[in-house]
Amino acid sequence: MLSVAGIRTFYGQIEALKGVSIEVRQGEIVTLIGANGAGKSTLLMSICGNPQPRAGRIVFEGQDITRLSTHAIVRHGLAHAPEGRRIFPRMSVLENLQMGATVADPAHYADDLARVFKLFPILERRQQQRGGTLSGGEQQMLSIGRALMSRPRLLLLDEPSLGLAPLLVKQIFRTIAEINQREGVTVLLVEQNAFHALRLAHRGYVLVNGRIALAGTGAELLANREVRSAYLEGGHGAVPA
């Protein structure tokens, strides 16, 4: 479904992604884990064309999207819930969701809204409230719900558990599984919370310093000694590059 082949992305002179290749297949949840600054978010953002990679190719459903601008990429059926939620704070919850439907067919706006409200009942109750007045967890739900309003076939989630209480983290991950299983949306998930992410995901990639260090199924990576010591047990063991 999505194939990223050898992309190299730069911030000025700094090479953030040094030739990264990943593959996401239809119906999967794929997670990217790694330390701060490993390039996880950069990879998601490169897929969305902001910033565009200097080298490599990104193909989504057979179409080369490497050189498209962000807003054009989104029209191909890919949605991005960016890091830090980035909801519209002064607009109401309903308006936020409506903005999510920008590229969708207005004919199924009502259906999509009902779907999102079913996934996140709290949003229905808060629909007239300003986005900025929601709690962190609710904002995260709004961010995901907004991304779903465009009926994406692939959903890119950037650290949905960031800054949330443990109970809410569980809830968010459960919802992601639900989106994947019941709605059939393929998910590419970037996470700091490696434990939850790997348990949820079908497959995972470990990014270290802008390179893919390890790849495997969620269970394999969870069992991997290096992954455990580097990301799961708070140790500082290095993952071989």
Partner 1 sequence: MASIAEAAPKPPNALAGALKEAALAAGVAGALALPLIGFHLVDVTGGVSVESRLSWVVYAMLAVFAGRFLLAITRRPAAASGHRDARRSASGKRNARLVGLVILAAVLVLPFLPFSNRYVLDTAITVLIYVMLGWGLNVVVGLAGLLDLGYVAFYAVGAYSYALLALYLQFGFWECLPLAGILAATFGVLLGFPVLRLRGDYLAIVTLGFGEMIRIVLLNWQDFTRGPNGIDSIPRPSFFGLPFREEPPEGGTSFHQFFGLEYAPEHRIVFLFYLILALALVTNWATLRLRRLPIGRAWEALREDEIACRSLGINPTNTKLSAFAIGAMFGGFAGAFFATRQGFISPESFTFMESAVILAIVVLGGMGSQLGVVVAAAFFIVLPELAREFAQFRMLLFGLAMVLIMLWRPQGLISGREPSIRLGRPADG
**Residue in 5, 35, 59, 94 binding partner 1, rule: CB under 8 A:** 94
CA 174 – CA 169 distance, rounded (Å)? 9
Sign of CA dihedral 22, 28, 33, 37: positive
Q: Based on the shown chain and the rule CB under 8 A, indicate whether residue 89 belongs to the binding site for partner 1.
A: yes
Interaction between residue 12 and partner 1 (CB under 8 A): no
Closest to 151 measured CA to CA, from 188, 197, 191, 97: 97
Nearer to partner 1, 158 or 191 (CB): 158
Q: 155: how many CB neighbours lie within 10 A of its CB?
A: 23
Looking at the Cβ atoms of 5 and 94, the one nearer to partner 1 is: 94
Minimum distance of partner 1 from residue 99's CB (angstroms): 5
Q: In 3-state terms, what secondary structure has residue 58?
A: strand
Which of these ranges, 11-19, 102-110, 163-171, 202-210, lies near partner 1 under the rule CB under 8 A? 102-110
From 5, 35, 59, 99, residue interacting with partner 1 (rule: CB under 8 A): 99
Q: In whole angstroms, what is the distance from residue 202 CA to residue 220 CA?
A: 10
Angle, vertex CA 92, rays to CA 86 and CA 97, nearest 5 = 65
Sheet holding 186-191, edge to edge: 78-81, 154-158, 186-191, 29-34, 203-208, 211-217
Q: Is 36 in the site for partner 1 (CB under 8 A)?
A: no
Tell me the C-alpha distance between 102 and 104, whole Å: 6
Q: Is 3 one of the binding residues for partner 1 (CB under 8 A)?
A: no
Closest approach, Cβ 29 to partner 1, in A, equals 20
Q: Per rule CB under 8 A, is residue 125 in the interface with partner 1?
A: no
- State which of positions 194-223 bind partner 1 (CB under 8 A): none
Q: Is 166 in the site for partner 1 (CB under 8 A)?
A: no
Instruction: Give the binding site for partner 1 (CB under 8 A).
Output: 48, 50, 69-71, 74-75, 79-82, 86-92, 94-95, 98-100, 102-103, 109-110, 127-128, 130, 133, 146-147, 150
